Structure 1
Amino acid sequence: MKPTLFLLLAMLAPGSTVYAASLIAVDADQQSAFGITLTAPLPAAETLTRRYPAEVAVPNRQMRVVAAPQSGVLESLLVAEGERVEVGQVLAELRSPELVDAQSQYLESLTRLELIETELARDRTLFREGVIAERRLLESQSKQRELTTMVEQRLQLLELAGFGSEDIMTLARTRRLTSRLPVRAPIGGVVLEQMVSTGQSVATAAPLYRVAELNPLWLEIHVPVERIVGVQEGGRVLLPREDTAGTIVTIGRMVHGQDQGVLVRAEITEGTERLRPGQFVEVQLSAEAQGESWRVPLESVVRHAGNAYVFVNRDGGFEALPVRVLAEEEGSAVVAGGLSTADRLAVTGVVAVKAAWLGGAE
């Protein structure tokens, strides 16, 4: 018979000291034979959930869809998916007959405004000299305000078409029309998607590119509603495989019907270069531990009759100390109970100690 099995049977035999009320008698030789090792519990300020899938997303404030400001034909596309662009950089060039019409109407209204302003200046002089009636002066002022409004309106149409202030000043000075319209990046970032091809005819507001700044990023996690307790804004989100972490920024108020999950959104600022929008990763959420809590190896927790226990080393053996399991993590458990940092818990050989404990209780 093997020595370890013999020792275990001896401990379970009638008359053994294992029947002591509060002590599971295991001496040093028996601990060595059973391969029992000890560890200390660690204070736990937080608990970690099991791993959940999370989707990497771009924050709404960092995403822009670049659209065609006018209808026309895409003469050239200067960037492609995956390229980094700077704010104001030309992404595409568009040939648009509508742009010519918009410039022509602006110049026409500008010319008419210049003419009426000349007439208004003359009418003011004539009115002061008593040559014309006040009604004529008022009519000139009304026409001047009307044309000023028209110029402003057509100026805004040019701005919506993608003309900058310098382009408009050049147009007013040279009176030269162009059908070429550069499409510029509204923000700096990375081109996530190209939605058109060179030579394609596009309508006004047709999407051309999707551009996004990729730092920070969001993680969108669906947490089962029964496990959302303790998860709070400001808590940590760990990405074990990517070796980085983020911070919970919002917790949804709606339970999604498909998976009965609550949307938890986290923001991540470190290690974003290893993540891509649309990617799924595994995460763990931290939750604030309730009351005095301890982190112990998962192997040190035993269950019996619906209760959880740890075996605490005492002089001459072990004590079965009842604990309440708050969370089971990867390789560890967070428990509440009468532990201290001075305690030493059985981690390996726990089966032998449990057998001695149950045998002594019979």
Structure 2
Amino acid sequence: SGSVLISASVTVPPEKQAILSAPYPGQLSQMVVGIGDVVKVGSPLAYFTSPQMGDSRQKLLEATSDARLAKEALFRDNELFKEGIIPQSRLNIAKAKAENANAMLMARQSELKAAGINFDDQKNKEAFNSYATGALKSPIQGTVVEAHNLIGQRVDTGTLLFRIADISTLNLEINTSGFKALGIQPGDEIVIASRNAKARVTGVSQAVSASQSARIRAVVEERGTLQMGEVVTATIQAKMKPKVPDKTLWQVPSRALTSWKGQSAIFILSSTGVVLQPVSVISSDDDLASIQAPLSNGAKVAVTGIASLKALAQKDE
């Protein structure tokens, strides 16, 4: 076992946060909340005005009226069909019209529902001074962690306006070297001494990124003075040593590495010539790489002319 020093970002679980963007082109006419405010589900965040939103409301009313009329026509034709006054074909047409009208109504309702807009606020009726104005409402309970005050400015569809997060649960997102991650497993304790906080590892990625770093996720159990969004230095109390095979770990300049037949390799300089040696890369950065290979002390590794040496090796095959 041992301690691993790491840098961690304090985050909120994805399912505990929500981002609100402009649902239509338009502008914010009034801000209701600011950063740090606590909101409930459905709480108004800001009042939003958009001519396109007004058009959508009008189309919803038209669809509601059309669906009602189609339903009444279907009821009437159904009674006429029972009395033998109209044929089956006319009843079928009435059914199709009613189904189409109902489908259009559902589509219009879904559009405005997805926009997350409330058009009736009993506490602030004056804010709805236009048919094209509505209140952006919070989809979750939480704290406002981002609020872009763009009052009076025109915004396009998709412009970020608010981010709401339930900060009752905090996570740690950690990027570390693949070598360090080998000794870390779920359940390991993380200590953030500067914030009097503790966390527990919940997941370790089974693959490293292109930069040879591995991702580790942890849930905060004792939050101390941790705040969402900050980056902290922490120590992982690893219960086991890194699972590295019984081979010596060597460090070489990263520029000495090359790719050979899908595998990493280096060129070893000797008195008799140059030898191509396949290696296993444990971790690397812009300067140094940690590798495993059957090398001897004092081995000379080529760090320049790699492309030429590789071309010669290909020619000798």
TM-score (norm 2): 0.66
The answer to whether the 8 Å contact 1:77/1:93 transfers is: yes
- Aligned pairs for 1:11-26 within 5 A: none
Deviation at 1:116, TM superposition (A): 2.5
Question: Is 1:188–2:127 an aligned residue pair?
Answer: no
1:106–1:151 CA contact under 8 A, matched in 2: yes
Q: Distance in 2 between matches of 1:77 and 1:122?
A: 50
Distance in 2 (CA, whole Å) between partners of 1:111 and 1:224 is 63
State how 1:139-288 maps to structure 2 within 5 Å: 139-163=93-117, 178-258=131-211, 260-271=212-223, 274-288=225-239
Instruction: Quote the residue 1:92 is aligned against.
Output: 46
SS, match of residue 55 in structure 1: strand
Contact persistence 1:220–1:266 (CA under 8 A): yes
* Equivalent position of 1:11 in the other structure: none
**Residues 4 and 238 of structure 2 are in contact (CA less than 8 Å); yes or no, is this contact kept in structure 1?**
no
SS of alignment partner, residue 207 of structure 2: strand
Give the 3 Å change call, closer, same or farther, for CA 142–224 of structure 1 in structure 2: closer
Q: Residue 116 of structure 2 contacts residue 139 of structure 2 at CA under 8 Å; is this kept in 1?
A: no
SS across alignment from 1:99: helix
Matches within 5 A, 1:297-316: none
Unmatched segments (≥5 aa) in structure 2: 121-128, 242-317
| Superposition RMSD in Å | 2.4
Range with greater deviation from structure 2 (141-150 or 77-86): 77-86
- Counterpart-to-counterpart distance in 2, 1:265 and 1:113: 51
Greater relative contact order (CA < 8 Å, ≥ 6 in sequence): 1
Aligned AA for 2:33? V
Give percent identity, aligned residues only.
Answer: 28
Paired with 1:177 and 1:118, the residues of 2 have a C-alpha distance of: 32
- The answer to whether the 8 A contact 2:170-2:220 is kept is yes
Residue number in structure 2 paired with 1:49: 3
SS in 1 for 2:111: helix
Read off the aligned partner of 1:287 and give its amino acid letter: A
Partner of 1:330: none
Give, as a single letter, the amino acid of the residue that structure 2 aligns with 1:247.
R
The amino acid across from 1:200 in the alignment is: Q
Q: 1:225 to 1:113 in 2, by over 3 A?
A: closer
Equivalent residues of 1:192, 1:211 under 8 A apart: yes
In the TM superposition, residue 65 of structure 1 has moved relative to its aligned partner by: 0.9
- Highest Rg: 1 or 2? 1
Mapped contact 1:103–1:177 kept (Cα < 8 A): no
In structure 2, distance between residues paired with 1:102 and 1:91: 21
CA deviations on 1:88-107 (whole Å, 9 max, x unpaired) are 21110011212221122122
Q: Distance in 1 between matches of 2:93 and 2:4?
A: 78
How much has 1:49 moved relative to structure 2? 1.0
- Pairwise CA distance, 1:279: 1.7
Hey, what's the Cα distance between the residues in 2 that align with 1:82 and 1:239? 24
Quote how far apart the aligned CAs of 1:268 are.
Answer: 0.3
Q: CA deviation at 1:257?
A: 4.6
Number of aligned residues: 233
Q: Quote the offset at 1:87 in angstroms.
A: 2.2
Shift in Å at residue 228 of structure 1? 3.0
Q: Deviations over 1:88-133 (max 9, x none)?
A: 2111001121222112212222222222322222222222222222
Residues 204 and 225 of structure 1: is their aligned pair in 2 closer, same or farther, counting only changes over 3 Å?
closer
Point out the more displaced range, 189-198 or 234-243.
Answer: 189-198
Give the whole-Å Cα distance in 2 for the aligned partners of 1:112 and 1:221. 56
1:190 Cα deviation from its structure 2 partner: 2.1
The alignment status of 1:133 with 2:87, answered yes or no, reads: yes
